[in-house]
Amino acid sequence: MEGWLTAWTKRALLEVQTYVRLLGAVGRALVTPPFYVHDVVEQFDAIGVGSLTVVVLTGGFTGAVLALQSGFTLDQFGARAVVGRLVSASMVKELGPVLTALMVSGRVGSGIAAELGSMAVTDQIDALRAFGTDPVRKLAVPRILAGVGMVPVLTVIADAVGIAGGWAVATSQLHVASSVYWNSVVEGLVIQDVWMGLIKPFVLGFVIVSVGCHVGLRTTGGTQGVGRATTHAVVAASVAVLAVDFFLTKLIISLLY
């Protein structure tokens, strides 16, 4: 048991060390040439536009079910009219950023790990180094920039669609007047809530893509290794999203509220 724990600790520390080294290499690549602008644009399209459908569906149904569930609960206090306030605050501050990040980690994190993992096990990463190309600069940096840039945009879209989904349910199922719902939405949000909803996606997007790149570049073991790396990337990114969200929420509350 003690030997297993020691081996596990060593592997965990090695992964952390390798991840930190990757972040250092990304930081250097961001401020020194060459810059692969075309690759960055391609990743913006792959991560942003490619994830739009799943994010819209997730946001819409989340807002709808949130309004449906909370509406009947609020009836116990005679407060059905404030359902818009609950939907908007929940979507903007927490559900929008977290659910968007989880959807992106499932779609994009796994894709990055599989793509880079396939390149690693077929020696394409080594071939890039042989030709004098930095794999981190060529492969990781464009994906990280796209993740940091597009996850906030996707989050805003998810928030808007979620609030609209809540409005559809509130007016059709809960019989709340449209004007009452939208007034409640506006009254339920303060500027600190908006800042919280905008700051989180930048950090979560960075975490998702950097974890996917780290796992992909570390892949070994052929096609089975690629499968394991894909699974590990999704699990690690999802857990990291929830953990980072908690600590980030505590930090933002202490600074803004």
Higher pLDDT residue, 247 or 11? 247
Domain membership of residue 176 (yes or no) is yes
pLDDT at 174: 86
Structure token pair of residue 48: 């942003």
pLDDT at 79: 77
Domain membership of residue 254 (yes or no) is no
Please choose, from the candidates 134, 138, 120, 136, the residue with its C-alpha nearest in 3D space to the C-alpha of residue 230. Answer: 120
Residue 186's domain spans which residues?
36-247
- What is the dihedral sign for C-alpha 11, 236, 24, 128? positive
Alpha-helical (H) ranges within the chain are: 2-31, 37-44, 52-74, 83-90, 96-104, 110-121, 124-130, 135, 141-172, 178-188, 191-217, 222-256
Structural domains counted in the chain: 1
Q: Is 8 a residue whose pLDDT tops 80? A: no
Tell me the residue type at 129.
R
Q: Is 75 a residue whose pLDDT tops 80? A: no
- What is the dihedral sign for C-alpha 102, 146, 25, 233? positive
- What is the dihedral sign for C-alpha 222, 228, 233, 236? negative
Domain membership of residue 168 (yes or no) is yes
Domain membership of residue 62 (yes or no) is yes
The greatest distance separating any two alpha carbons of the chain, rounded to the nearest whole angstrom, comes to 70
pLDDT at 35: 85
Q: Angle, nearest 10°, between helix axes 2-31 and 191-217?
A: 110
pLDDT tens-digit readout, 182-213: 998 988 888 888 999 999 999 999 999 999 99
Domain membership of residue 31 (yes or no) is no
pLDDT tens-digit readout, 107-156: 888 899 999 999 988 888 888 888 888 889 999 999 999 999 999 999 99
Whether cis (ω within 30° of 0) applies to the bond prior to 34 is: yes
**Mean pLDDT confidence for 7-35:** 87
Domain membership of residue 12 (yes or no) is no
Domain membership of residue 45 (yes or no) is yes
Please choose, from the candidates 140, 114, 116, the residue with its C-alpha nearest in 3D space to the C-alpha of residue 21. Answer: 140
Structure token pair of residue 47: 């991560």
Record the pTM: 0.91
Domain membership of residue 256 (yes or no) is no
